[in-house]
């Protein structure tokens, strides 16, 4: 004969237990404990309760005893229950602080592997600590520092004014150079990209000369005018300016360029003095980011220069000029400033 010992449950405890047993948001282990106690209050035996609640008889006996001693609150988990944290707050702070320093081995940044070796922790744990601290030691962002130019405000306002509100019938050109573009050919044929395999180049190469690209980006249409030269000296820059002036007759031209010495040589200054319709505007010191031609040169480098294979200098120049023509036909558009926040400070 099975012994049945009915639990005595007060009205308050019964209401709490029924709430825990029926609520869909209660943790399952707490809901099972509440159902087992309610079944005991109805006169069910320990074996019947274990079968009905999905618990072992030993566990049913444990929670019956806790309920008799502490009531419904006895079914809650005791403080400190569960898996202990693998790393405490002090050690987390120490790992994050270490990640913000330079390693002593001469490298400039920490890797997860190096941090794990230095702290004696696993790479997985170090990765979790870095993720929780929102640290990414492998990444570096660049920002524009303060220009030392005492005329920064006046010069930048002048250039931005040309971008936003140019004079009537005026052409605003952002001019820049990319020098020493190498015509590199590989010593063996390239292996083409296939499904599941990227294109592959030999690590050995032949140099077939270099070229310098002078380019002018129209501020309000996005069109690019380009010319390849042997070098980026003052003579070639003046030749490019004459090319731009000849291609836009009877129009006022405003040239935005950086502070390269070739842009300020005596020959260029003399020619500009003789041309009333051509005006040069130099960006402030260390503020070439005001010249939006730098954005286009970044796109050009990504699309044409990196990973290119050129059997001769002529092949390099032909590819550059082809890219500019196709860019003007399909991709040319003015660049728009998108940053509207406060400037960063050191």
For 60-95, how does the pLDDT look when each residue is reduced to its tens digit (9 = 90+)?
A: 888 888 888 888 888 887 766 666 667 788 999 999
Q: What share of residues in the chain are helix, strand, coil (percent, to 5)?
A: 45, 15, 40
Distance (Å, rounded) from C-alpha 346 to C-alpha 342?
Answer: 13
In this prediction, residue 313 has a pLDDT band, given cuts at 50, 70 and 90, of very high
Higher-scoring residue by pLDDT: 2, 339: 339
In this prediction, residue 341 has a pLDDT band, given cuts at 50, 70 and 90, of low
267-282 per-residue burial string, b: 16 or more CB within 10 A, e: under 16: ebeeeeeeeeebbbbb
Distance (Å, rounded) from C-alpha 86 to C-alpha 124?
Answer: 11
CB 226 within 8 A of CB 320: yes
Tokens 């007759």 correspond to what residue? 249
Q: Is 217 strand, coil or helix?
A: strand
Verdict on whether the full-model pTM lies above 0.75? no
Distance (Å, rounded) from C-alpha 108 to C-alpha 112?
Answer: 14
Query: What per-residue confidence (pLDDT) applies to 128?
Result: 92
Distance (Å, rounded) from C-alpha 87 to C-alpha 127?
Answer: 12
The answer to whether the Cα torsion of 242, 244, 249, 252 is positive or negative is: negative
Name the DSSP class of 10. -
Mean pLDDT across the chain: 88
Query: What per-residue confidence (pLDDT) applies to 23?
Result: 80
pLDDT of 204 over the 50 cut: yes
Q: What percent of the chain has pLDDT over 70?
A: 94
pLDDT of 1 over the 50 cut: no
Distance (Å, rounded) from C-alpha 126 to C-alpha 118?
Answer: 11
Q: Which two tokens stand for residue 48?
A: 């019947």
Query: What per-residue confidence (pLDDT) applies to 37?
Result: 86
Tokens 């019964």 correspond to what residue? 14
CB atoms within 10 A of CB 55: 20
Q: Which two tokens stand for residue 225?
A: 């005018």
Choose among 254, 181, 267, 245: nearest CA to 218. Answer: 254
Q: What percent of the chain has pLDDT over 90?
A: 47
Distance (Å, rounded) from C-alpha 36 to C-alpha 48?
Answer: 9
Q: How many CA atoms lie within 13 A of 142 on its CB side?
A: 2
Query: What per-residue confidence (pLDDT) applies to 85?
Result: 62
Q: Is 284 strand, coil or helix?
A: coil
**pLDDT (mean) for 2-25:** 79
In this prediction, residue 344 has a pLDDT band, given cuts at 50, 70 and 90, of low
Choose among 155, 162, 163, 144: nearest CA to 335. Answer: 163
* CA distances to 7, 75, 79, 159, 336 from 67, in Å: 9, 7, 17, 79, 69
Query: What per-residue confidence (pLDDT) applies to 83?
Result: 65
**pLDDT (mean) for 96-113:** 93
Q: In what order do the strands lie in the sheet with 170-186?
A: 224-229, 205-218, 170-186, 252-257, 278-282
């Amino acid at each position: 004969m099975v012994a049945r010992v009915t639990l005595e449950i007060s009205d308050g405890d019964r209401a709490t237990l029924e709430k825990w047993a029926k609520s869909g948001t209660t943790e399952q282990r707490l809901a099972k404990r509440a159902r087992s106690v309610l079944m005991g209050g109805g006169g069910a035996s320990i074996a019947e309760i274990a079968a009905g609640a999905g618990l072992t008889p030993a566990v049913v006996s444990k929670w019956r005893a806790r309920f008799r001693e502490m009531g419904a609150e006895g079914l809650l988990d005791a403080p400190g229950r569960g898996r202990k944290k693998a790393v405490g707050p002090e050690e987390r702070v120490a790992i994050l602080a270490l990640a913000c320093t330079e390693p002593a081995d001469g490298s400039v940044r920490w890797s997860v592997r190096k941090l794990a070796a230095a702290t004696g922790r696993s790479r997985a744990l170090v990765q979790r600590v870095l993720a929780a601290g929102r640290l990414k030691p492998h990444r570096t962002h660049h920002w524009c520092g303060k220009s030392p130019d005492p005329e920064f405000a006046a010069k930048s306002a002048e250039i931005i004014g040309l971008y936003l509100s140019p004079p009537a019938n005026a052409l605003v050109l952002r001019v820049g150079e990319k020098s020493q573009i190498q015509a590199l050919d590989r010593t063996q044929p390239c292996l083409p990209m296939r499904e599941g395999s990227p294109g592959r180049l030999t690590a050995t190469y032949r140099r077939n000369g270099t070229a310098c690209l002078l380019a002018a980006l129209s501020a309000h249409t996005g069109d690019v005018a380009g010319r390849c030269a042997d070098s980026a000296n003052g003579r070639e820059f003046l030749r490019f300016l004459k090319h731009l002036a000849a291609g836009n007759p009877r129009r006022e031209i405003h040239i935005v360029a950086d502070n390269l010495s070739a842009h300020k040589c005596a020959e260029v200054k003399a020619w500009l003095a003789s041309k009333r319709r051509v005006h040069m505007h130099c960006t402030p010191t260390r503020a070439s980011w005001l010249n939006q031609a730098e954005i286009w040169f970044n796109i050009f480098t990504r699309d044409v220069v990196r990973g290119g294979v050129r059997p001769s200098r002529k092949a390099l120049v032909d590819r550059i000029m082809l890219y500019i023509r196709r860019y003007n036909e399909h991709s040319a558009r003015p660049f728009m400033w998108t940053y509207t926040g406060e400037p960063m400070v050191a």
